[in-house]
Amino acid sequence: MGNRTVIPFGPQHPVLPEPIHLDLVLEDETVVEAIPRIGYIHRGLEKLVEKKDYQQYTYVAERICGICSFMHGMGYCMAIESIMDVKIPERAEFLRTIWSELSRLHSHLLWLGLLADGFGFESLFMQSWKLREQVLDIFEETTGGRVIFSVCDIGGVRKDISAETLKKIDNIMNSMEKEVKEITEVFLHDSSVKMRTKGVGVLSKQMAFDLGAVGPMARASGIDLDLRTTGYAAYGKINLQPIVEQDGDCYARTSVRMREMFQSMDIIKQCIALIPDGDIKVKVTGNPTGEHFTRVEQPRGEVVYYAKANGTKYLDRVRVRTPTFANIPALLETLKGCSLADVPILILTIDPCISCTER
């Protein structure tokens, strides 16, 4: 046994957009243990539910995360709608699905850019973010915001997308598919990129299951877990197969996300073809009483929303379990036995979103 050294990793580190601290216990260059510490950016957003009424809290829920903001808002709205027994119009369900999948697309493109930056491929990073810009423009045109949309509301959505804009989105998806294919070649087939990802940080299927991994992290290890198959919003009305890889390494996780982007584009096109005309919102009156759990599939995995209402306009409790929090134990497991130079790539492949985790 060699000498053990402890190297602090983070909270400030070039690969980390947000602060998380890991104490890496090393033997020579090999990591034997990683001890995490979170809590640098706790904002007390769950406590805020006592100060803001249940309709105002929609805006707070959206601001839990800057990347999957739409799905946070949607998860919260779905929980309240279930408590109040509100059935939202079909068009609103389809609009929610379109915005959710656009969120997934922009989140995965952002992540691919960060991964490319993590292994030092600057032009690939720029290329990914250039593609992402088109999705952000769609968001700005349809909702008015680039990352915070404020369109999801209890009882439906606030804004409609016109038929011309839907047609335009369809065309953008077609052209984007070709452009994303170009970078897929690089991420999945370039030999220098493969050297950094293939066989690195293997998480076995059993380990992923035992540690409760979610989202692409679980699917890359062979677990068929995709909550969209439960059919919330309009997912029950469209054709959708979970994307699963078996290897459980960084390459498999990249591959799952790459294939999910094509799946998202396909879902958006299916939704545009199927979207019915009609209202986008039903009027919600009164205050909620009761409690409900909602599970939504975010780009990073499963998010759980729990809401408890007491019949007044202020809720008793809102609890959010975010995907990154569920993936941290799996991350610590993959870090064991890897070399110090692979640590940044491994941390990136769980797609960490620390603001969500600490709320």
Pick the closest to residue 200 from 143, 249, 147, 165 (CA basis).
249
Residue 201 DSSP symbol: S
We find the least distance from the C-beta atom of residue 57 to other proteins, in angstroms, to be: 8
* Residue closer to other proteins, measured from CB, 77 or 203: 77
Contact 115, 254 (CB under 8 A): yes
Judged by beta carbon, residue 55 or residue 82, the one nearer other proteins is 55
**Partners of 30 in the β-ladder:** 27, 339
Q: Compare residues 55 and 229 and give the one whose CB is closer to other proteins.
A: 55
Spatial distance between the Cα atoms of 64 and 322, rounded to a whole number of angstroms? 10
Q: Which of 194, 205 has the CB closer to other proteins?
A: 194
- The DSSP-derived string for 291-343 is EEEEEEEETTEEEEEEEEEESSSSEEEEEEE-HHHHHHHHHHHHHTT-BGGGH
CA–CA separation, 213 and 23 (whole Å): 21
State which residue, 73 or 299, has the beta carbon closest to other proteins. Answer: 73
| Nearer CB in complex with other proteins: 70/121 | 121
Contacts for 193 with CB less than 8 Å, ≥ 6 apart: 119, 121, 124, 186, 187
Residue 154: CB minimum distance to other proteins, A: 12
- Write down the least CB distance from residue 149 to other proteins, Å: 9
Side chain identity at residue 168, one-letter code:
K
For other proteins, which is the closer residue by CB, 300 or 359?
A: 359
Give the pair of three-digit tokens for residue 182: 């170009």
Q: Which positions ≥6 away from 10 have C-beta within 8 Å?
A: 16, 19, 20, 21, 22
Q: What are phi and psi of 328, to 5 degrees?
A: -60, -45
For other proteins, the closer CB: 29 or 140: 140
Q: Pick the closer one to other proteins by CB: 192 or 204.
A: 192
> Cβ contacts of residue 226 below 8 Å, gap of 6+?
219, 240, 242, 243, 297
CB of 141 to other proteins, least distance (A): 5
CA atoms of 19 and 37, how far apart (whole Å): 10
CA distance 4 to 1: 8
The backbone torsions φ and ψ at residue 213, rounded to the nearest 5 degrees and listed phi first, read -65, 150
Tokens of 84: 């109040």
Quote the least distance from Cβ 127 to other proteins, whole Å: 6
| Residues that bind other proteins in the complex, under the rule CB under 8 A | 52, 56, 59-60, 63, 121, 123-124, 127, 130, 133, 140-145, 148, 150, 158-159, 182-183, 185-186, 189-192, 194
Structure token pair of residue 222: 């062979």
60 versus 110: smaller Cβ distance to other proteins: 60
Least CB distance from residue 161 to other proteins, whole Å? 10
Whether residue 36 is preceded by a cis peptide bond, meaning omega within 30 degrees of 0, is no
Q: How far is the CB of 183 from other proteins (least distance, A)?
A: 7
